[in-house]
Structure 1
Amino acid sequence: MQRAAYLVEAELIGSFAIPALQEDLETLQNSDEIFYGYWIDHRLAGAISYKKEGGLLDIYRLMVHPRYFRRGIGKALVSFVEGVEEGIERIIVSTGARNLPAKKLYEGLGFRDIGEREVIAGLWITHFEKCKRF
């Protein structure tokens, strides 16, 4: 599912240098990220992973299988994580600068664009953050 989702992003941003496209199952299993999945009819339709350190929640991956695009799965996964983790003061996430659907999703969820950065030659990412007010 990860490969299918990130191949779509690679096409959108014009670069196949996305690290997630180079990972295998063993790499994912050995990561120290927290994962949640979104299932439809016993099929994994989407997933989110993140790390939490103190009041900071860093979303590492948000992926939806292309078969399930535009069904609110990404929004549901981010909202779920916001609700399940306590003590979050700030959430950060990044996406390809030319990935307009992802950027629109994060902005719709209340994230603000905090800038772009070229991570390798020709590959730009946009960073987002959301500060929680309690």
Structure 2
Amino acid sequence: MIKKIDLQNSNLAEELLALQKASYLVEAKLINFFEIPPLLENIDELRECEESFLGYFEGGELSGAISFTIDGDKLTICRLVVHPDHFRKGIAQRLLTEVEDSNRGLTVYKVSTGKENPPAKLLYLKNGYKLINDIEVVPGLYISNFEKRKVEE
């Protein structure tokens, strides 16, 4: 089940923090960079991030989450995390689909991931996102930026 995460709920916020640390640790190993901001974030920083969060709950347990911001007609996915115990179950796909379906009126969707993160890149490509560019954000670390534009029907 997918539902909104209220970061003011202490238990949920703590669960989300633990989930994102477990998930981003896997990405950190893939891209060989361990200073990914959400990996170092504390509970107060998480609560102050001004992103909207949806969680994927399996058996009452938070097993995946997505966060996003909206600016005009543009939605930016900020985080998409799945607990390593729940990889390869389609959770990331369900969360991505939910965010897009819930925000059909928007025309541009953006997301970034580590250039050396093939699973994330494949997810975005198979969902119609196009690689815009790769940017070196710190020496030796490249981020791949993706965008999906809805065409008027």
**In structure 2, C-alpha distance between the alignment counterparts of 1:111 and 1:86, rounded to whole Å:** 15
The alignment status of 1:63 with 2:81, answered yes or no, reads yes
Q: CA RMSD in A?
A: 0.8
One-letter identity of the residue aligned with 1:50: F
State the TM-score, normalizing by the size of structure 2. 0.85
**In structure 1, C-alpha distance between the alignment counterparts of 2:127 and 2:135, rounded to whole Å:** 22
138, 144, 153: which one aligns with 1:120: 138
103, 107, 122: which one aligns with 2:125: 107
State the TM-score, normalizing by the size of structure 1. 0.97
**In structure 1, C-alpha distance between the alignment counterparts of 2:47 and 2:35, rounded to whole Å:** 21
**In structure 2, C-alpha distance between the alignment counterparts of 1:20 and 1:6, rounded to whole Å:** 7
**In structure 1, C-alpha distance between the alignment counterparts of 2:125 and 2:104, rounded to whole Å:** 22
> Which residue in 1 is equivalent to 2:12?
none
Q: Give every structure 1 segment of 4 or more consecutive aligned residues whose post-TM-superposition deviation is greater than 3 Å.
A: none
Say which SS state the counterpart of residue 58 (structure 1) adopts: strand
> Which residue in 2 is equivalent to 1:24?
42
Report the Cα offset of residue 62 of structure 1.
0.4
Map 1:1-134 → 2, pairs under 5 A? 1-134=19-152
Gaps of 5+ in 2: 1-18
One-letter identity of the residue aligned with 1:25: I
Say which SS state the counterpart of residue 20 (structure 1) adopts: helix
Deviations 1:92-130 (A, max 9, x none): 000000000000010011101111001111111000000
Single out whichever of 19-28 and 92-101 deviates more from structure 2.
19-28
Report the Cα offset of residue 86 of structure 1.
4.1
**In structure 2, C-alpha distance between the alignment counterparts of 1:58 and 1:78, rounded to whole Å:** 11
One-letter identity of the residue aligned with 2:36: I
Deviations 1:49-100 (A, max 9, x none): 0000111000000000000001111111011011112421000000000000
**In structure 2, C-alpha distance between the alignment counterparts of 1:44 and 1:25, rounded to whole Å:** 16
Gaps of 5+ in 1: none
